Amino acid sequence: MKKILLFISIFFVYSLSFSAFFSNELYQRLDTTKLDKKVLNRALEGLSKIDVKNKKVLTIIDYTKSSNEKRLFVIDLKKEKIIFDTYVSHGKNTGGEFAKKFSNNLNSLQSSVGFFKTSTTYTGKNGYSMRLNGLEKGINDNAMKRNIVIHGAKYATESYINKYGRLGRSWGCPTIPLDLSKDLINSIKGESIVYINGDLNNYQKKSKFYMN
């Protein structure tokens, strides 16, 4: 029994060390100052704990940044490069320029945080779109019921920022520039992970995937 516990302890420490090493190496190769290293580490840690079909690509949305900044990153983990780096809107009741309030409730018109799997694509009133399946109970597991999807929008552009002083807002969906939406959605469809960073004080108390 002692040998088994020792083996598990050694394996756990090794796994953490390897994960940290991989994160550091990847961050250096990505060569960007726009993506926070701690946010990348959280996303990679969660990815390592989730059973998902597509681990070749990882999407990170950092809602701690101003909506006037590019805060959505799609990372090709195999090629170790950022393939999309763009604007993304938050929910209208989540805040103005900055995302401050988050919810898992129906009709809240707020964004949710945490880990999601990309689900089915479809073409609807917002054009080509993709559903998100929230993986964390009490945090984002109402995403399907709330119709939280990634889709393109005219208000998720730099020209909108220049005209109105900040990015437009959605009804809770992470919306992206129309001209990128089809290519971006196609690059992450097929059950890959989307990590939405924000509301850390509350999120860390509830999430089993959280890492400092």
- Note the pLDDT tens digit of each residue in 137-165: 999 999 999 999 999 999 999 999 999 99
Structure confidence at residue 28 as a pLDDT band (50, 70, 90): confident
Residue 42 belongs to some domain of the structure: yes
Residue 212 belongs to some domain of the structure: no
Residue 211 belongs to some domain of the structure: no
The 10s digit of each residue's pLDDT in 169-198 is: 999 999 999 999 999 999 999 999 999 999
Residue 17 belongs to some domain of the structure: yes
How is 161-172 classified by DSSP, letter by letter?
A: HHHHSS---BSS
CB 75 within 8 A of CB 83: yes
Report the CATH number at residue 172.
2.40.440.10
The 10s digit of each residue's pLDDT in 72-103 is: 999 999 999 999 999 999 999 999 999 999 99
Residue 73 DSSP SS3: strand
Count how many domains the chain has.
Answer: 1
Q: What is the pLDDT of residue 20?
A: 53
Give the H/E segment covering residue 117.
strand 114-124
Domain that holds residue 135: 2-206
Q: In what order do the strands lie in the sheet with 149-153?
A: 81-86, 72-76, 57-62, 193-197, 114-124, 127-134, 149-153, 175-177
Residue 32 belongs to some domain of the structure: yes
Predicted TM-score of the model (pTM): 0.89
Residue 32 in this model has a pLDDT that exceeds 90: no
